């Protein structure tokens, strides 16, 4: 039987740099925060006047924000993986 401490496969829930183990609590917390942000933004856009609402929904603003956000998240992940 192989020794579990010598397993060469990385454990995505364990951060060896800090010694922290990420579990369901952290996943649910981040998920809840994201849902609250999305619902808050949705609520704000429903009370906007027609002009700003048109800019958000009919122009490419949302796509640009999503693209820039995705690039920033991926760059952050890439920088983090280079440190370890």
All structural domains of the chain with their residue ranges? 4-83
Give the residue with greater pLDDT, 14 vs 50. 50
Query: HEC profile for 29-68?
Result: HHHHHHHHHHHHHHHHHHCCCHHHHHHHHHCCHHHHHHHH
In angstroms, the CA 67 to CA 72 distance is: 9
State the average pLDDT for the chain: 78
Stated pTM of the model? 0.52
- The pLDDT, as a whole number, for residue 83 is 58
């Amino acid at each position: 039987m192989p020794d579990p401490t010598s397993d060469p496969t990385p454990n995505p829930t364990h951060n060896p740099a800090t010694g922290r183990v990420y579990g369901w609590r952290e996943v649910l917390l981040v998920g809840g925060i994201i849902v609250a942000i999305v619902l808050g933004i949705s609520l704000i856009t429903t009370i906007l006047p027609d002009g700003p609402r048109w800019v958000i929904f009919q122009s490419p603003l949302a796509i640009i924000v999503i693209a820039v956000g995705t690039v920033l998240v991926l760059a952050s992940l890439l920088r983090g993986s280079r440190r370890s």
